[in-house]
Each structure stands twice: as C-alpha cells, then as structure tokens.
Amino acid sequence: MLRAADVALALGRAREEGRALAVVSLFERGGGPPLDLARLLVGEDGEVAGGTLGARALDEAAARHALGLIADERQEIVVATVSEVGGGAEGGAGGARLLFEIARPPLELIICGGGHVGQAVARAGRLLDFRVTVIDDRPEFASRERFPDPEIRLIGGDFVEVLRGLRVTPAAHLVIVTRGHRHDELCLREVIDRPARYLGMIGSRRRTTTIRERLRREGVAAELLHRVRAPIGLDIGAQTPEEIALAVLAEVVLVRRGGTGRPKSSEGPMARAR
C-alpha cells in the first residue's frame, strides 16, 4: 500500500520532470469504503509508477483508463466503477468505484528573443496561464521596462549558454523569435533534441528550409527536424507582432489540444446552406 508521503513524493517528482501523473484510488467497495485505501500511480506513458489496487487485471485496466484521461487535458477528477474501466469483477469488485485524479505540471512557454514579437508572445502566453520565460542576450531586451509583468521570468545572457543550463521538460513550449537568423539557428541547434511539447522558429519559408537542409546534412535525424514548426504559427495572414503572437499561440493550442486548424464554419450548417 502506498502511503500519503509516497504519493506526495511521486507527485513532486512528476511536477519537477514536467510530466503528468494519475493517482487512482479504490475508494468504495461493497457499498462502503475499503478497510485500506488502495492506490495506483500511472505515468503519462501508461506505465504503473507504483502501488496496486489489489489485482493485476484491475491495475492494467485502471492504467489504460488513466492514460486516456491524461491524454484528454479537460479531465482532472473522474469517478468510474471497476466494470466501466474493464477491470472485471473478481472478488465482487465489479461495482467498486475508482477515483482518478490527474496531476498536470504547469505549462511553460520559453521564448528566445525579447523583441517586439517576443513581447507580444509573452503577453499572449500569460493570458493563457503559461509560466513564461524570456531569454535575450541584450540586457535591455530582457528588462522589466519591456516586460513589466513580474510573473514573466527574464534571463539575460548568451542564448546557447542559457538554453544549455535550462531544464526543458515535456511541459515546455519553445518559441524562437530572436533578432536574426543566425541566433535563431543557434537556439534551434541547442534545443532540437529536447523533449519540449512544441518547438517553433520564426523565419521565411526559404530561410527555414535552408536551415533545415543544413541541419539534415550535418546528421540531425529526420524525426527531430519534422517536429520543428517553421515557419512558426498558423497561416492567418498575420503582419503585426500581436497578430504573429496570436498565430503562434493558436498553433501551440492546436498542438496541445488537437484539431485541424480549419475554420469551424467550413463544415457548419451555414456552409452547407450556400
């Protein structure tokens, strides 16, 4: 049986690593609470990270169900019967109830570049409750004068050195919008193999293609290149820094939540009436 201290330690570790963790509790059996509160910890890869609900088949079924809840970021607390999760009814457990609690790490937005676009992306990220970090090698561009929100973390220093010392977890979203292509490429080289959920780089299609081909010739794996969103953002015809920020954050949400990026109206009743 997992102690409360064990659960707290596992939750802290998952948060530090930027990973989601499901705590599954068998909290009702036979119409009342069990004598001992059985718990199971399930990681975002579906693997059991500790504990047991008392039967292997039930643990496996609960882990599968937890994995689906983790993938659906709308879910936080869910109650289900053992039968509903497909855990069988061994020992009369079919009517028992399970509590699924999904703990998610804070979403991080790491912005390389404190120029006009970086400023706009940081503001938009704060509106979406991201923990925002801005990096720039020019002290005046990583200053409170440009980023008055005290919740925005500012780091001044060489891009590569800062990124090398920065922990990038699966909860991170990296946006590369520095003042020039050379700095963009340096940042990309440093983070392309990090486990960030989103990695985007600003630049024209011609320029980003040139960078991609150079990295490919140097031996960067195709799967790493494929995950880079470049040019960055959804195509909404953005021109101003604020419009570009909107396009970038829209793509970040699309990657996080899923979707097509197509206008909903294209398949709506009004479209069918034309």
Contact 158, 137 (CB under 8 A): yes
More confident residue, 1 or 177: 177
pLDDT value of position 75: 82
DSSP string, 62-125: HHHHHHHHHHSTT-SEEEEETTTTT---GGGGGG-EEEEEEE-PPPEEEEE--SHHHHHHHHHH
Q: Is the pLDDT at 30 greater than 80, yes or no?
A: no
Q: Would you state the pLDDT for residue 134?
A: 98
* pTM of this structure: 0.84
Q: 89: pLDDT confidence band, cut at 50, 70 and 90?
A: low
Residue 92, pLDDT score:
47
How far is CA 140 from each of CA 109, 159, 186, rounded to the nearest angstrom?
21, 15, 21
3-class secondary structure, 272: helix
Dump pLDDT digits (tens) for 117-161.
999 999 999 999 999 999 999 999 999 999 999 999 999 999 999
- pLDDT at residue 125 in the model: 97
Tokens of 139: 């002290």
Confidence of residue 273 (pLDDT cuts 50, 70, 90): low
Q: Fill in the DSSP letter of residue 141.
A: G
Structure confidence by residue, pLDDT tens digits, 223-272: 999 999 999 999 999 999 999 999 999 999 999 888 888 888 877 666 66
Residues 148-179 as b/e (b if ≥16 CB within 10 A, e otherwise) read eeeebebbbeebeebbeebebbebbbbbbbbb
Residue 64: CB partners within 8 Å, gap ≥ 6? 46, 85, 86
State both tokens at 190: 């440093």
What domains appear along the chain, each with residue ranges and CATH number? 4-103 (no CATH), 108-257 (3.40.50.720)
Q: Are the CB atoms for 52 and 24 separated by under 8 Å?
A: no
Query: What does the alpha-carbon distance between residue 161 and residue 112 come to, in Å, rounded to a whole number?
Result: 12
